[in-house]
Amino acid sequence: MGERLSTVIVGGGPAGMVAGLLLARAGVRVTVLEKHRDFLRDFRGDTVHPSTLDLFRQIGLLDELLALPHARFDTATLDLLGRRYTIATLRHLPVAAPYIAMMPQWDLLDFIARQARRYPTFDLRMTTEAVAPVLDSAGRVAGVTLASGETLPARLVIAADGRRSVLRETAGLPREDLGAPMDVLWFRVPMPEGGAFADVPLGSICRRGMVVAIPRTGYWQCARIIEKDGFPAIAARGIDAFRADVVALAPGLAAGIEAIAGFDDVKLLSVALDRLTRWSRPGLLAIGDAAHAMSPVGGVGINLAVQDAVAAANVLAAPLARGDDPDPLLPRVQARRWTPTVRMQAIQRIAHDRVILPVLRGEVDHVPFAVKLLDRVPLLRRIPGRILGLGFGRERVESPLAGAGR
């Protein structure tokens, strides 16, 4: 392949950008390909969890990151059958930032790009779409073909192109579909001037359905949980009925609900829950949603993706900087991240079966004992708080800083 070739990362989401930053920081020539012209795409996940914030602390960027506009969330509340319950707290986590930072993802990605461009080995190419891997005569992935028809050679290709990854499909990586019973409708509702986050709980559940409201600066980013493939029926009832349903579920949103002028202001997220059973083949590694699409439950997808990126850099950065063959190392990334991924997806499947499905079927007629117990015993709230905030198998940055200690 030749030592001069870059590692090519396909996808400029959290996984791709963090992997690019950490590899460039270690002196690896890395090129990140992003098919859009900018990161300004709404309805992305905005929850930067304590585990991710702590990774930025480890590389000396936490204070700069937190200088960006964001809201902070350290307690999860739930309105269930007309009563509010407190079910999780993150305040006691053993990290520098024991809260979730609610930050538009485009701000996070722009921040990472600015930091990565400080390193001469980093290259970010916007409006550049990879459509297929390039194979050499031995069947090894040796680069990517771009939508322009150009071929871009690479020492290693990292597929970080999301749940609809072109590369993972064309590369023939085997996928296990775990199923998801719901889709999500995303929309924003302005927050009244002087309004408080506490006016609207994180989740509102009753017999009519479920709404999640994530506080941003000046508005709530909202999600209405709907039955899988159920959007056409909702659209057929009209926008007035949709707004009325949302307010019936979350009355605190009433003041700003008219901002939803039509269904052009409502975006459909088709929910998937799946994972590759093999994340790599010679010359190619999948990480983030390309390796395991996560449900929106818990908002943990971004953070698992970032943990994958850190694991990939921990395993690969120093060998790539030396010019070593990366292929024997690729399975180690999956080995590090497999159990945390499986555990989190198992929790999401339980939530699908025990929470989401009853909601969709209109079968919510009582408050589960676990919810009552968490509300009554504050100390117990630390358990879901730790899972939500730190996840499983938390990575620490082990990839080197080029030139450090020399």
Q: What is the pLDDT of residues 381-398, one digit of tens each?
A: 999 999 999 999 999 999
What single string gives the DSSP state of each residue in 359-394? HHTT---S--HHHHHHHH-GGGGHHHHHHHHH-SS-
Cα–Cα distance measured from residue 358 to residue 348, given in angstroms and rounded to the nearest whole number: 15
Q: Where do the domains of the chain lie? A: 7-178+272-390, 182-269
- Token pair for 357: 């499905």
pTM of the complete model: 0.91
Whether the pLDDT of residue 199 is over 80: the answer is: no
**Proportion of the chain above pLDDT 70, given as a percent:** 95
pLDDT band at 3 (very low <50, low <70, confident <90, very high): very low
157-171: average pLDDT: 91
Which of 291, 282, 367, 362 has the alpha carbon at shortest distance from 327?
Answer: 282
282-290: average pLDDT: 97
- Token pair for 209: 């359905």
Whether the pLDDT of residue 371 is over 50: the answer is: yes
Whether the pLDDT of residue 43 is over 70: the answer is: no
pLDDT band at 260 (very low <50, low <70, confident <90, very high): very high
pLDDT band at 115 (very low <50, low <70, confident <90, very high): very high
Cα–Cα distance measured from residue 362 to residue 209, given in angstroms and rounded to the nearest whole number: 7
Q: Which of 72-81, 212-221, 249-258, 261-270 shows the lowest per-residue confidence on average (mean pLDDT)? A: 212-221
CATH 3.50.50.60 fits 7-178+272-390, yes or no: yes
Q: Which of 64-73, 160-169, 267-276, 325-334 has the highest mean pLDDT?
A: 325-334
Whether the pLDDT of residue 403 is over 80: the answer is: no
pLDDT score for 45 = 62
Q: Hey, which bits of 282-365 come out as E strands?
A: 284-286
Whether the pLDDT of residue 295 is over 50: the answer is: yes
pLDDT score for 405 = 41
Cα–Cα distance measured from residue 124 to residue 282, given in angstroms and rounded to the nearest whole number: 24
- Token pair for 268: 């459909």
**Proportion of the chain above pLDDT 90, given as a percent:** 72
